[in-house]
Amino acid sequence: MRPLALITGASSGIGETYARILARQGYDLIVVARRADRLTALKTQLETKYAIQVEVFTADLLQDADIAKLEQRLRNAQNLTMLINNAGFDQLGDFADVPLEKHLGMLKVHLEATIRLCHAALPAMRQHRQGSIINVSSLAGVVPLPKNSLYSATKAGMVVLSEIMASEEKHYNIAVQVLCPGYTYTEIFDTVGFASFDVKVVPRFLWMSSEDVVNESLARLRPGQALVIPGWMNRVVYWSHKYNPIGKYLTFMVGNWFYNRNRK
């Protein structure tokens, strides 16, 4: 039987890249997102190219009922090998200026959905004493960014949750990874949340391709190793924030300057 992976946010960007790379490795897939047309096109391509099976699962993770359906699907997927909680979005701006609905949406998609899907997937993984979970957080989850309050807060929640789960689940031979990418070329920068941000002025050395991010994630996936920060430049940012006593202030100063300079 082929291994099976469920990927949320598989209709574009990092999630779609996980789908393409895992399909090439011979995984069957359950691909989840709101844009059914994108998922169906991906299914056709991958099934034709790799002779695997792809199930399209259309769901809006802002909706309780859709998360519940997905939990049920996971409980029924006894052969699930990998769960990737990747769906996400951002809305830049001061905490007080961003509509409350957007803040609560990030709480729902980044944290509540991740918690519920991990909880639904783990019993079968524990029973089989194998499996992997990848929670796609962000560099903002370990280096809080100005104008990204709920994004940073929810992504930090994913980091803490995953680190604790990783230490518990390694005893069942289950890997729990929290991936913290920095700037990665995807469509997230075309979404409404980034409307005020001109990405062209972000220096090229700060960017990674989604292929490099996903390859590093999969290469470093093993029980007990939670935090993965892909790319040397992102690790430099993380270390200087964590180990430099004035790192936190520098991050906020540079972050604010960067945000204001890059506003369209």
Ligand X SMILES: NC(=O)c1ccc[n+]([C@@H]2O[C@H](COP(=O)([O-])OP(=O)(O)OC[C@H]3O[C@@H](n4cnc5c(N)ncnc54)[C@H](OP(=O)(O)O)[C@@H]3O)[C@@H](O)[C@H]2O)c1
Q: Does 214 bind ligand X (CB under 6 A)?
A: no
Using CB under 6 A, pick the residue from 132, 152, 186, 234 that binds ligand X: 186
Q: Does 9 bind ligand X (CB under 6 A)?
A: yes
Q: Does 83 bind ligand X (CB under 6 A)?
A: no
Which stretch, 19-27, 44-52, 85-93, 218-226, contacts ligand X (CB under 6 A)?
85-93
Distance CA 144, CA 128 (A): 37
DSSP string, 96-155: TTS-HHHHHHHIIIIIIHHHHHHHHHHHHHHHHT-EEEEEE--GGGTS--TTBHHHHHHH
Q: Does 197 bind ligand X (CB under 6 A)?
A: no
CB of 24 to ligand X, least distance (A): 18
Q: Does 35 bind ligand X (CB under 6 A)?
A: yes
Which stretch, 32-40, 95-103, 164-172, 233-241, contacts ligand X (CB under 6 A)?
32-40
DSSP-H helix ranges across the chain:
13-24, 36-50, 64-76, 100-106, 113-128, 149-169, 210-219, 232-243, 247-262
Residues forming beta bridges with residue 6, ordered by sequence position? 30, 83
Q: Does 12 bind ligand X (CB under 6 A)?
A: yes
* Residue 223 or 229 with smaller CB distance to ligand X: 229
Q: Does 212 bind ligand X (CB under 6 A)?
A: no
CB of 162 to ligand X, least distance (A): 13
CB of 128 to ligand X, least distance (A): 27
Which residues contact residue 160 at a Cβ distance below 8 angstroms, ignoring those fewer than 6 apart? none
Distance CA 17, CA 187 (A): 12
Distance CA 19, CA 6 (A): 9
Walk across the sheet containing 54-58 and list its strands.
54-58, 28-33, 4-8, 80-85, 131-136, 174-179, 227-228
Which stretch, 8-16, 70-78, 162-170, 237-245, contacts ligand X (CB under 6 A)?
8-16
Tokens of 50: 């790799």
Decide if 114 contacts 85 (C-beta within 8 A): yes
Size of the site for ligand X (CB under 6 A): 30
CB of 256 to ligand X, least distance (A): 19
String marking each residue 137-166 x if it binds ligand X according to CB under 6 A: -x----------------------------
Q: Does 89 bind ligand X (CB under 6 A)?
A: yes
Q: Does 61 bind ligand X (CB under 6 A)?
A: yes
Alpha carbons within 13 angstroms on the beta-carbon side of residue 64 total: 1
* Residue 88 or 146 with smaller CB distance to ligand X: 88
Which stretch, 54-62, 68-76, 120-128, 228-236, contacts ligand X (CB under 6 A)?
54-62
The total number of residues written for the chain in this structure: 264
* Residues of the shown chain interacting with ligand X in the complex, contacts defined by CB under 6 A: 8-15, 33-35, 38, 59-62, 86-89, 109, 136, 138, 181, 183-184, 186-188, 191
